[in-house]
Amino acid sequence: MDAGLTTLRQGAVAVQGHAIVDVGKSKDLLRIYPDARVIAEENKVLLPGLINTHSHAAMVYFRGLADDLPLREWLEKHIWPAESKWLSTEFVNDATELACLEMLKAGITTYNDMYFFGDSSARATRSLGMRACLGAGIIDFPTVAASTLDEYLANAERFIGNWKGDDMIFPCVAPHGAHTCGPETLRRSKKLAERLDVKLHMHLSETRWEVEEIISRHGKRPVEYLDSIGFLDDRVIAAHCVHIDDTEIGLLSKRSVSVSHCIESNLKLASGIAPVPQMIRAGITVSLGTDGAASNNDQNILSEMSTAAKLHKAIANDPTVLDSKTALLMATRWGAEALGLGSKIGSLEKGKEADIIAIDLKKPHLTPIYDIYSHIVYSAMASDVDTVIVGGKQVIKNRNHVEVNEDAILKKAAEWQAKIAIHNSSH
């Protein structure tokens, strides 16, 4: 996934410490590095770890709790009440372990999160050997995480101070959205992000309802409103951008805002379909996000690629509109660029961090092979991810985590499920 989209047959990647030191033909690399330990051998395709640019990882514990409902009812009647009942540092820690295990096994090596209790997310993520950008959630109403804007901002600043400079955790500020955060909240979130030099992660124009709400409050469409308060620049990663018009696309491009496309979540909540081909044509960096597991219901970027690539063809009535190479760019290099990590991850190139996955190609549904991009995007499944290396460290071997006790993580989830299910059914 380098600038020339180089594909090597019988290729290899040499890793030393946390970094990629060489990429070339395997026979050449084995000659240069005769003592190298070979990790993934025949019948595999190596590619950069996939990047999930919008998630709420800990929500995996609410997977399947409330389905087949409109977004507002789903969020206000089910998800927010469940969060206010259950969220705690312990919940976020345990749920994030499950989410990271799920993501790693699906070939995701970096995720961009927005949630609360970030220290717990960070510790759980590190314990699974994964990389993450973690946004400290800020919203204009009290939650278990904080009661006032001052408290939310103080929490965010403390969290960022705890993790800034870490090699695996990239903290940021995450004001929830333009309809759930007023102009004062957005301005102060932006100031904090500037002062601490971190990213801003938010939801934007996910539903038609939310767009109308912002127009009635501020007299402008959401992107124009955000621009009028000076919020938009290359710090901002905006999730969804479903209901945006051509003027707004132009403005997002001009301000170098990047967009996380969460197609499966948007489909399931019937929020609509983001104008992705138009955004890409306008020069916007568009990447892929799973969103939380309560609205998707899995953390799987391989399937997001497949869904996005197929759906936009049908919508545009044009099968050339989002090809497999573009889909894989969205899931790798463009995702890295959106997170400000373009020089570190997103492609297999000398000098970059060794975030590498291997997909096992010796499967009926991956045979024969004419075009490897086509196979990765249209045919591969999460269960085909055989090997995952993050920062030079192998974390998944033969489809299993090499360090953590997977059964213990599943058992903890079942214990939480028992508690949550009893409470939920008593309502």
Please give the residue ranges that form the binding site for Zn ion (CB under 5 A).
Answer: 291
Identify which of residues 232 and 262 has a Cβ nearer to Zn ion in the complex. 262
Count CB-CB contacts under 10 A for residue 268. Answer: 19
Closest C-alpha to 251, from 276, 228, 218: 228
Closest C-alpha to 424, from 141, 111, 66, 6: 66
DSSP at 161 = H
Identify which of residues 248 and 291 has a Cβ nearer to Zn ion in the complex. 291
> Helix, strand, or coil here: 388?
strand
- d(CA 234, CA 252) in angstroms, rounded, equals 9
- Least gap, CB of 284 to Zn ion (angstroms): 19
Identify which of residues 259 and 409 has a Cβ nearer to Zn ion in the complex. 259
- Least gap, CB of 62 to Zn ion (angstroms): 13
Q: Looking at this protein, which amino acid is placed at residue 139?
A: I
- Least gap, CB of 73 to Zn ion (angstroms): 16
- Least gap, CB of 98 to Zn ion (angstroms): 18
- d(CA 135, CA 173) in angstroms, rounded, equals 5
- Least gap, CB of 406 to Zn ion (angstroms): 26
Instruction: Give the CA distances from residue 106 to residues 7, 9, 112, 339, 399, in Å, rounded to whole numbers and listed in that order.
Output: 22, 23, 16, 20, 9
- Least gap, CB of 121 to Zn ion (angstroms): 15
Identify which of residues 91 and 373 has a Cβ nearer to Zn ion in the complex. 91
Select the residue whose beta carbon is closest to Zn ion and give its number: 291
Identify which of residues 97 and 291 has a Cβ nearer to Zn ion in the complex. 291
- Collect all residues with Cβ–Cβ distance below 8 Å to 154 and sequence separation of at least 6: none
Identify which of residues 6 and 84 has a Cβ nearer to Zn ion in the complex. 84
Q: Is the dihedral of CA 147, 153, 158, 162 positive or negative?
A: positive
- d(CA 207, CA 240) in angstroms, rounded, equals 9
